Amino acid sequence: MRAAVLTAYDAPPVYGEFPEPVARGEHEIVVDVLAAGLHHLTRAKANGTHYSAGGVFPLVPGVDAVVRDASGLLRYAALEDSVLGTFAERTVIDTRRSVVLPDAVDPVRIAAAMNPGMSSWVALRRRVTFREGQRVLILGATGSAGRMAIQIAKRFGAAQVFAVGRDAGRLAELPGLGADQALTFGEIAAAADVDVVLDFVWGAPAADAMLPMLTARADRSAPLNWVQIGSMAGESAPIPSTALRAARLNIVGSGIGSVSPRDFIAELPELAEAVTEGGIDVRARAVPLAGIAQAWSEKTGERLVFVP
């Protein structure tokens, strides 16, 4: 079959031949791939920078997809680590890690939204005790996952959502998605009294934001849950010890390992329903899988979705 094949961490995948998939486990089935998103997680696993990268080559990248099974059912499926991902004409899924979708859904839209949407959805549902009426700050709100996080926090009942980013043009769009205030990193102290930070940035920008934000809080003994989700600005953040002593700061991570596969899968149906009904704005662009080498490093505000 045709697939995007990765042979090394330092080179993009190449469209070519790969062995046909074979279902081996009790719950495994071979499916046709309809649409598979190019997510930050997919890139990081493919270039070896993500902690879950396997390092076995050749492999087909891709962590999830909208697929059709032999009975005709449309499914969204998330894959476990395997040399056969979703950037292929066919793949193998575990039916327990999938959710059946209505036939009328747009496969490209679902493929674009589920992975980035799941990051904030699971963080608020599984990593902190989030209550309706709390306030949320999103670091890195101008990216796909950050934009969805605004809408998801509001969906869960956030009283206020503060969107923080660098791109002034993209920041200006965020009130239209539900952000109560759009701020630059230099203005972050204006949102000091939030209850939860969803951090898609990490690195020095996150560390630099912590102290001004914590020292500006009206009540430093009020808990602030800082959820580390992404690391677009760096894998390490030089957090000052004062930040941990001068306020009630709780730093937790949300991702593969800190959230069990069972918990991830349990959240899939409701998120899929929210995306299907149009409750979450999605920017997606379909790209033929044959063009993956050219599209792999493309910088865009849209989520690229490969279609075999």
pLDDT at 59 over 90: yes
CA 71 from centroid of its chain's CA atoms? 30
- Give residue-wise pLDDT tens across range 246-271: 899 999 999 988 999 889 989 989 99
CA 28 to chain centroid, in Å, comes to 25
Q: Is the pLDDT at 279 greater than 90, yes or no?
A: no
Q: Are strands 249-253 and 224-228 parallel, antiparallel or unpaired?
A: parallel
CATH of domain 116-253: 3.40.50.720
**Residue 15 in tokens:** 């469209």
Residue 256 confidence (pLDDT): 85
Residue with tokens 């327990």: 96
Fold type of domain 2-104+278-307: Quinone Oxidoreductase; Chain A, domain 1 (3.90.180)
Give the pLDDT band (50/70/90) at residue 1. very high
Q: Is the pLDDT of residue 53 over 80?
A: no
Retrieve residue 75's tokens. 């499914």
Token pair recorded at residue 191: 């949102």
Label residue 33 by pLDDT band (50, 70, 90).
very high
DSSP letters, 219-259, are -TTS-EEEEE---TT-S-----HHHHHSS-EEEEE-SBTTB
Strands 135-139 and 160-164 turn out to be parallel
At 10-20, the pLDDT tens digits run 889 999 999 99
100 SS3 class: strand
Question: Would you list the domain boundaries of the chain?
Answer: 2-104+278-307, 116-253
pLDDT per position as a tens digit, 155-179:
999 999 999 999 999 999 999 999 9
Contact by Cβ (8 Å): 145, 163:
no
Over range 262-290, report the average pLDDT: 92
Q: Which of 7, 93, 90 is nearest to 46 (CA)?
A: 7
Quick: pLDDT tens for 191-203: 999 999 999 999 9
pLDDT in tens, 95-121: 999 999 999 899 999 999 999 999 999
Name the band, by pLDDT with cuts 50, 70 and 90, for residue 214.
Answer: very high
- Under a CB-based contact definition with an 8 Å cutoff, are residues 199 and 224 in contact? no
DSSP letter (8 states) at residue 20? P
Q: What is the reported pLDDT for 29?
A: 98
277-287-65 Cα angle (round to 5): 50
What's the pLDDT at 308? 95
